[in-house]
């Protein structure tokens, strides 16, 4: 069974995340979207809201599930029996950052990281951009899945 973990903070999930996950579905038997919890980070959306956004977005995808976790992603992979980490790349800076993490994970475990390039139409979207648009009262609805749009924020 080809199981992949797609880790992130998803504060909130964006259309870029959505694109990577949808394109990953045919590649894996199961994708676990793993919301990482970092006590040092201040989030705009609660963990429950972020989880609900993702569950609602993928409610019709039986091979996609959502979990929350603390600690190393490779430890979560081992716990869940996943052999792959799925990551999206928007730009060269993402590549350099993700490459270092992938090499570290490979050194510490047998987990392979699979990179998908974001689609051109979503390559500029990040959760931090969405949060900035939200904070400033802009129209964020074109940047996120419908489940986030109904949040009332």
Predicted confidence pLDDT, tens digits, the chain (153 residues)? 999 999 999 999 999 999 999 999 999 999 999 999 987 889 999 999 999 999 999 999 999 999 999 999 999 999 999 999 999 999 888 899 999 999 999 999 999 999 999 999 999 999 999 999 999 999 999 999 999 975 445
Catalytic member of 3, 90, 131, 149: 90
Q: Is 24 annotated as a binding residue?
A: no
Name every residue whose Cβ is closer than 8 Å to that of residue 19 and which is 6 or more positions away in sequence: 88, 118, 119, 122
Task: Please tell me the pTM assigned to this model.
Answer: 0.93
Q: Is 9 annotated as a binding residue?
A: yes
Asked if 83 is an active-site residue, the reply is no
CATH of 3-148 among 3.40.50.620, 3.30.230.70, 3.30.750.24, 3.40.190.290: 3.40.50.620
Question: H-helix or E-strand containing 64?
Answer: strand 64-69
Q: Is 48 annotated as a binding residue?
A: no
Asked if 41 is an active-site residue, the reply is yes
Instruction: Measure the CA–CA gap between 147 and 23, rounded to whole angstroms.
Output: 19
The answer to whether residues 14 and 127 touch, using CB atoms and an 8 Å cutoff, is yes
Asked if 131 is an active-site residue, the reply is no
Asked if 90 is an active-site residue, the reply is yes
Query: What value does the CA radius of gyration of the chain take, rounded to a whole number of Å?
Result: 15
Q: Is 98 annotated as a binding residue?
A: yes
């Amino acid at each position: 069974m080809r199981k992949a973990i797609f880790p992130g903070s998803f504060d909130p999930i964006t259309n870029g995340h959505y694109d990577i996950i949808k394109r990953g579905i045919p590649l894996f038997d199961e994708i676990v979207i793993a919301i990482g919890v970092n006590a040092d980070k201040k989030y705009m959306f609660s963990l429950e809201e972020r989880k609900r956004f993702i569950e609602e977005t993928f409610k019709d995808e039986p091979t996609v599930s959502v979990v929350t976790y603390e600690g190393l992603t490779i430890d979560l992979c081992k716990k869940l029996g996943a052999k792959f980490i799925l990551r999206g790349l928007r730009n060269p800076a993402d590549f350099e950052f993700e490459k270092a993490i992938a090499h570290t994970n490979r050194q510490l475990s047998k987990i392979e990281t699979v990179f998908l390039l974001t689609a051109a139409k979503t390559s500029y979207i990040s959760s931090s951009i969405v949060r900035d648009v939200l904070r400033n009262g802009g129209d964020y609805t074109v940047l996120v899945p419908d489940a986030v749009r109904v949040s009332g924020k």
